[in-house]
Chain A
């Protein structure tokens, strides 16, 4: 949720470039573009409760607009990202967060991929070790060779390796 310094700088630079002489420089919609950037960054992490799976940054539903205003007001009042998140969670619950917090009910969610990875790696290691030691069953191999030879058109194409 940290605001990207470079992005902010780029924005500031973009705004400081002097406008062409004949035209007026358009005003940013937000009074404070840097603040707006921060509001939008956080808004992308927050779910619009009445929408079909959109963040409050993407939605223009009245509640999403209200919540964005809340976020902005609280930033202006000097609260940081964590405090704003806490404020919203106190009212709407974890449902409002697109990044679920790490706690009892999300244990499987957060550890699941790690466990899957460990399980997969373990199975892989076991499988490979077994594979190295075991000999191929002769019958199947024989059949496989026969089929492969017939399918390949035997030796005349074998100089063309396929990979």
Chain B
């Protein structure tokens, strides 16, 4: 058996290894490029108080979560009880980003499902969403005292994600700050 005749076999096995590993990956999940970068600048009206805008500077000095949601988003309903529970613990401020939604629809939705947010910011045209690299709703960003994005959760937040990822990361950031 000459070595060169084994080359096709090795190439194939290498390929098969990658293909097998590929089965575990999700080709549609896109990690954020903004991790460890300052959160994009925003200045948005609040859903409950359209005249009072909130900007990055208002959140300085504290660790906080930004949760992108919309009343038309089906998966948001799935994570909503988790967020309600999370906000009751009063660990960090939870700010909603009401993404491409109607104000009335959004308010009705919060009345129906409960409002876990300290406040919700209105991103009616989705511009701030694009700045944050949002490509699907819901998404959740963890932002530190200096306004740097530290973590992004894609898809509905689960109780396990809160317990195993978000809370430890928040505690770590609080210690560091």
A and B touch in the complex (CB under 8 A): yes
- Please report A residues at the B interface, Cβ cutoff 8 Å: 49-50, 62-63, 66-67, 70, 89-93, 95
**CB of A149 to closest CB in B, whole Å:** 31
Interface of chain A, helix or strand or loop or mixed?
helix
Q: Describe B's contact surface by its main secondary structure.
A: loop
For A89, what are the chain B residues with a Cβ–Cβ distance below 8 Å? 33
A91 touches B34 (CB 8 A): yes
> What residues of chain B lie closer than 8 Å to A66, measured between beta carbons?
125-126, 130
A50 touches B126 (CB 8 A): no
Asked if B33 contacts A90 (CB within 8 A), the reply is yes
- B130 contacts A67, CB within 8 Å? yes
Q: Please determine whether A49 and B30 come into contact, CB atoms closer than 8 angstroms.
A: yes
If A49-B30, A62-B100, A66-B126 touch, whether A91 touches B136 (CB-CB below 8 Å) is no
Do residues B133 and A91 form an inter-chain contact, with CB atoms below 8 A? yes
Partner of B33, one of A49, A67, A91: A91
Using Cβ atoms and an 8 Å threshold, which residues of chain A touch B34?
91
Whether the Cβ atoms of A95 and B130 lie closer than 8 Å is no
Known: A49-B30, A50-B136, A62-B100. A91 touches B126 (CB 8 A): no
Residue in chain B with minimal CB distance to A90:
B33
Contact B100 A49 (CB under 8 A): no
Given that A50-B136, A62-B100 are known contacts, is A92 also in contact with B131, CB under 8 Å in the complex? Answer: no
13 extra interchain contacts, Cβ-Cβ under 8 A, other than A66-B126, A91-B133? Answer: A49-B30, A50-B136, A62-B100, A63-B135, A66-B125, A89-B33, A91-B130, A91-B131, A91-B132, A92-B33, A93-B31, A93-B33, A95-B30
